[in-house]
Structure 1
Amino acid sequence: MAGTLYLVLAMRRPDFNAAAVQPHIAFLDELRAAGQLHLTGGFSDGSGGAYVLCNVGSLEEANAIVARDPLVTLQSSDLVVHEWTTR
């Protein structure tokens, strides 16, 4: 997949709320159904995970999508979005 993607790094906070996991998975499923999720996965050390957004018009739009993630709204993880241009 060539073009601009958005890499979202999600790092768990020390006070991580496990109740955010299922809503987060449902959120990712919605993104997948909308054609906006390219890849997702957790880090093997349990410190967090990452996902890659696609078919998103801008970094601002990517940030707006990520702001709705239950990991953010439930204050369980710190999420950072990086614009990622692939070849």
Structure 2
Amino acid sequence: MKRFLVILMRRPQLDPAAIPLHRQFLDTLREQGRNEMSGGFADQSGGAYLLRAESLEEALQIAHNDPAHTSGGWDVTIYEWNAD
């Protein structure tokens, strides 16, 4: 599997109710072996997670099912990461 860095930046219209749903989503990915690590930025502007997927298309499909994306509260950007 390849690694993808998913970056989430908060929008002003962020609904705080989406945060626990997003965390549950990340926990589920972790249980599936797809979320290697995740965390928020110190300035509270957003966060990131390292996603394992077969392709960019699969990574996009997974990330676009994240409540962070479906709620409209975060801008989501995904990069394939060639980490050593």
TM-score tier, shorter chain, comes to: over 0.9
The alpha carbon displacement at 1:4 in A equals 3.2
- What does 1:45-84 correspond to in 2, within 5 Å? 45-54=43-52, 56-84=53-81
Q: CA RMSD in A?
A: 1.0
Q: Secondary structure at the match of 2:42?
A: coil
The alpha carbon displacement at 1:16 in A equals 1.1
Q: Which residue matches 2:35?
A: 37
After superposition, the C-alpha distances for 1:37-58 in whole angstroms (9 at most, x for unaligned) are 001000010000000012x100
TM superposition score normalised by structure 1: 0.92
TM superposition score normalised by structure 2: 0.95
Q: Match for 1:32: what amino acid?
A: R
Gaps of 5+ in 2: none
| Runs ≥4 residues deviating over 4 A | none
Gaps of 5+ in 1: none
Q: Match for 2:83: what amino acid?
A: T
Identity %: 44
After superposition, the C-alpha distances for 1:27-79 in whole angstroms (9 at most, x for unaligned) are 0010000000001000010000000012x100110000001000111111011
